[in-house]
Amino acid sequence: MENNTGSNKAIAKLVNECESVVTDFSKELKDGLEEKKITIDNIEMLLLKTISTLKTNLIKATEEIVNESALKKKEVSYCEKCGKKHVITSKSSNLVINSMLGELNLKRPWLFCRRCGEGYSPLDRELEVNENYKVTKALVDLVCDFAQMLPFQESSDVLNKHFNINMASSTIQKISEDIGKKLYLNEKKESDELYNNQHKVIDKVIAQKKKGKLYIECDGSMVAIRGDGWREVKLGIIFSDLNVLNKNKPRHIISEKDYVAYLGTAEEFKKMLWASAVKNGCLNVEQIIFIGDGAQWIWNMVDELFPDAEKILDFYHFTEHVHDCGMVLYEDDKMRETWVKDIIDGINDGFINETLLKLNTGDYKKAAEIKEVKALKTYLENNKERMNYKEYKEKGYFVGSGAVEGGNKCVIQQRLKLSGMRWSKEGAQYIATLRSAKKSKKWEKVKEVIYNKCA
C-alpha cells in the first residue's frame, strides 16, 4: 500500500524521467564526439538544456511531494487572539515561492478563525516562509547583492536574463531595503552601546600589546533626496597600515578596510565611526592618524573620540584651496603657477609661519582678491597645527585622503548618484549600508540578517 502513495509515485516517475534525460544527454554527446560534429559551445548548450530539463522535473516532483504532505495533515489549532478553534477551509490555498531555481507552486490547507476573520497556513510556518515576500533566503541574498550594485530595474533584468527569475524591480527594492534596514538598525544599536559605554571598552585595553597605526578618514557625498533636495551622506574609512601594500609607492593598495556610511547629523555619525574604529582595534594601536578636509565638525569629533590622534589636514584639499585662490589672483598661467608652487612648497617644506606671512591682503587691491586671500589665510591658520607635512612624511605617514575620496565614488556615487536618481532618505541609507558591507568585504553581516543569525 505504501508504494501507491502519490509521493512515492512522484519519486518513481522522477527517477525514470531523469534517467531518460541523462541517457539522451550521454548518447547525443557521444555521437557528436564520434562524428566530430560537436564544439565546446555545443557541449555547453547540451549541458544547459539537460540541466534545465532535470531542474524542471525536480521542481515538479518537489511540488507534488510537498503538496501531498501538506494537504493530508489534519492539525487542530486555536486562534492566538480569541482562543477559538480554527476551521480548515474546504479549498486549498495556493502559495508561489520564488527560489534560486525558479518558482515553486504549492498548495496548502488554510486554517481560519471565523470570529476574528484571520487565518494562516501551518506549511508556511513549517517551511519558514517570509510573510512579506515569498522568497527563499538564498534568493534574498542574491537580490540584495544585485540591488547594492545595480539600479533596481537593471537588477530585475539581470535576474531574468541570467537566472530565469522573474521579479519586479519594486519587489527587489522592497527586499533589499528591508534587509538594509535591519542591518542598519543592528549597527546603530551596537554603535550606541559602544559610544555610551566607552569606559568599559577602554578599561580592557592592554598597553604593552599596542602596535601599528590606524588611519581614519572622513568625507561626504551629496545625494538627491525626494522632497528634501541634496543631502550629504557622510562616509568614514578605517584601515591599518599593516594592511597597506606598496606603501612607498604613489599608488598603494589597501587590502582590508572598513566603510561607515550615514545620512544624517555629525552627532550620530560619530557614534557609528567610533564603533567601527573600536572593532578595528583603535585602542590597541600605537598611533591613530586622522586625515580630514578641514571641516571644524570633523576636528571636534576627533578631539572627543580620539584625543591622542595625529590630526592631518588632507594635503590635496590644502593644495586645492591654494589653486582656487591663485585662479582669482592671476590671469597669467605662469605667474599663477609660480605663486601656487611657492605657497605649496613653503608649507610642504615646513615653513608654515613664513608662508602665511606671504598671504598679505595689503598686497592686493581688488575686493575679490582680498576676499580670496583672506579666506585662504584663515583656512591655513585654522589648520596650521595639522600641516606639518615634512614631519609627517619623515614618520612615514600618509597625508592625503585619497582612500575616502575613492570610497565616496565606489561606495556612494556609483550606486546612489547615477543620472536621474531620487531617493527616500531611508532608502538611501539602507542601500548605502548594504553597499558599505559589500565594499568592506563583510557581506557575512548581511547574511546574518538574512538567515536570522544576528545576536
In a domain, 405, yes or no: no
264 residue type, one letter = G
pLDDT at residue number 297: 92
- How many domains, the chain? 3
pLDDT in tens, 30-78: 999 999 889 999 999 999 999 999 999 999 999 988 888 877 776 778 7
Q: Do 43 and 6 reside in the same domain of the chain?
A: yes
Dihedral of the alpha carbons of 72, 74, 78, 84, in degrees to the nearest 10: 120
pLDDT in tens, 372-420: 999 999 999 999 999 999 999 999 999 988 899 999 999 999 999 999 9
pLDDT at residue number 454: 62
Q: Do 30 and 78 reside in the same domain of the chain?
A: no
In a domain, 275, yes or no: no
In a domain, 9, yes or no: yes
Q: Which residues of the chain have pLDDT under 70?
A: 1-6, 74, 90-92, 204-208, 250, 454-455
pLDDT at residue number 376: 96
- Which of these three, 19, 36, 69, is where a domain ends? 69
In a domain, 419, yes or no: no
Tell me the backbone φ, ψ of residue 69, rounded to 5 degrees.
Answer: -65, -40
pLDDT at residue number 94: 87
Short-list 111, 108, 107, 120, CA closest to 76: 111
Helix or strand holding residue 16 (H, E): helix 6-34
Model confidence, pTM: 0.89
In a domain, 197, yes or no: no
Q: Residue 60: which domain range?
A: 1-69
Short-list 233, 312, 231, CA closest to 272: 233
Bridge pairing between strands 213-225 and 118-120: unpaired
User: Can you read off the three cell numbers belonging to residue 205?
Assistant: 585595553
Q: In what order do the strands lie in the sheet with 229-240?
A: 258-263, 229-240, 213-225, 287-292, 310-313
DSSP 363-375: G--SHHHHHHHHH
In a domain, 150, yes or no: no
E strands present in 250-335: 253-254, 258-263, 287-292, 310-313
Q: Do 55 and 1 reside in the same domain of the chain?
A: yes
In a domain, 274, yes or no: no
